[in-house]
Amino acid sequence: MSNWQELEHKYFMSTVERVPVTLVKGQGARVWDEDGREYLDFVGGWAVNSLGHCHPQVAEAVAKQAQTLIQTSNQFYTTPQIRLAELLVQNSCLDKVFFCNSGAEANEGAVKLARRYGKLYLNGAYEVITAMNSFHGRTLAMVAASGQSKFQQPYLPLPVGFINVEYNNIEAIKSATSKETCAVMLEPVQGEGGVNLPDDDYLAAVRAWCDQMGILLILDEIQTGIGRTGTLFAYEQYGVEPDIMTLAKGLASGVPIGAILAKDKASVFTPGEHGSTFGGNPLACAAGYATLKFIIDNDIAGNAKKMGQYLATGLKGLRRKFQFITDVRGCGLLVAMEFSSDIAQAMVTACLDRGLLVNRLKPNALRFIPPLIIGKGEVDEALGILDKSLSSIAG
């Protein structure tokens, strides 16, 4: 074990089961450890490094902004913030933006916005209906929103105002709706909860129900947004428009940022009702602008779609070869491979030994969320390593 890993055990709170590698450098879809060993990165900072590691345009924007203006209070106008907000609005169905620092913070803000809307227009309605197996973040309210008991049980009692119902079941949403409901909040494709795809008509049915009841639809596109699923935003593929959308992860290709976007009708905050000291700082927004501009100008979402299909086809080929692969599913470069038994950890290690980083999604499933700029050669390389690793496990 390296000295760094011993020091981590001594000084750091143990909140994650780490992979025993200390990464010191990244470039494109590759990272290097402290001994100079190279890895192909199909974890991508948990779907964050949309343009890969240290993309020249992002690195340049950050370096330039770091020498110009890093942070001011939000009492002042700053140009990177406004430029990024304009670019987001011009390329989405939403009208207004608020910036923060993470996905959980964006979702908290989205729920606050929906509660304000409820107070103003729905007789004080405050409840938000969310889905089982969803993941919306780690703050207490977002743990209550995330329909997964493993995240909720350690922290009971949870904040009130969230009802978790079965995903892909419109009737469950209908029965949970009451005069206290102000919004439904969903991931278009559930990421952390298993890469679970919606049925073709589910999101449209939810949209129609929200319209009928006069409540808001919040889409959490923190993992699916910014090109990950093959379009700039996943909602585009399902023929629905949210009233509120949250973003984070891939928006600044690795620099921390979060965003709440809302239609004019749902943009009901007034001065003093919400805020964030670091949210929308010039440094993060310069990185966000450089990332988003590059993604739009170079159709990186189109690449994610193409490479996602290529990866899924290759994985389905492996499924035909290895009977213990029970499913391959996904959308763009958000792809999961499921096994008949709990071999995901063994696969993470087998791939690591061969120079590929993959994410253990569940004891019996892996998730592939590489940078959106990957090419065929890198997908072929990953598939080759997966093939060898699966063979080694099959014995």
Ligand X SMILES: Cc1ncc(COP(=O)(O)O)c(C=O)c1O
- Catalytic residues, by residue number, are 135, 220, 249
Question: Near ligand X by CB under 6 A, which window of 92-100, 133-141, 154-162, 366-374?
Answer: 133-141
Q: Does 220 bind ligand X (CB under 6 A)?
A: yes
Per CB under 6 A, 248 contacts ligand X: yes
Angle between helices 282-297 and 300-321 (to 10 degrees): 70
Alpha-helical segments (H) within the chain: 3-11, 44-47, 56-66, 79-90, 103-121, 140-145, 149-152, 170-176, 202-213, 282-297, 300-321, 344-353, 376-394
- Report, in Å, the least distance between residue 269 CB and ligand X: 20
115 exposure class (CB count in 10 Å sphere: 0-12, 13-18, 19+): buried
Q: How many binding residues for ligand X (CB under 6 A)?
A: 15
Judged by beta carbon, residue 88 or residue 325, the one nearer ligand X is 88
Q: What are phi and psi of 338, to 5 degrees?
A: -110, 150
**Closest approach of Cβ 68 to ligand X, in Å?**
26
Examine residue 136 and tell whether it contacts ligand X (CB under 6 A).
Answer: yes
Nearest to 244 by CA among 268, 275, 212, 228: 268
Whole-number Å distance between alpha carbons of 367 and 42: 8
Question: What backbone phi and psi angles, to 5 degrees, belong to 39?
Answer: -130, 145
Distance CA 189, CA 223 (A): 9
Q: Which of residues 83-102 bind ligand X (CB under 6 A)?
A: 102
Which x/- pattern over 149-188 shows residues binding ligand X (rule: CB under 6 A)? --------------------------------------x-
Tell me which of 28, 52, 103, 194 binds ligand X, using CB under 6 A: 103
CB of 101 closer than 8 Å to CB of 278 = yes
Among 29, 31, 51, 104, binds ligand X (CB under 6 A): 104
The answer to whether residue 108 forms part of the interface with ligand X (CB under 6 A) is: no
204: which residues sit within 8 A by CB, 6+ positions away? 238, 239, 240
CB of 229: closest distance to ligand X in angstroms? 12
Which string of x and - marks every residue 189-208 that binds ligand X (by CB under 6 A)?
Answer: --xx----------------
Using CB under 6 A as the binding rule, the residues of this chain from 268 to 297 that contact ligand X are: none
Binding site for ligand X (CB under 6 A): 46, 102-104, 107, 135-137, 187, 191-192, 220, 222-223, 248
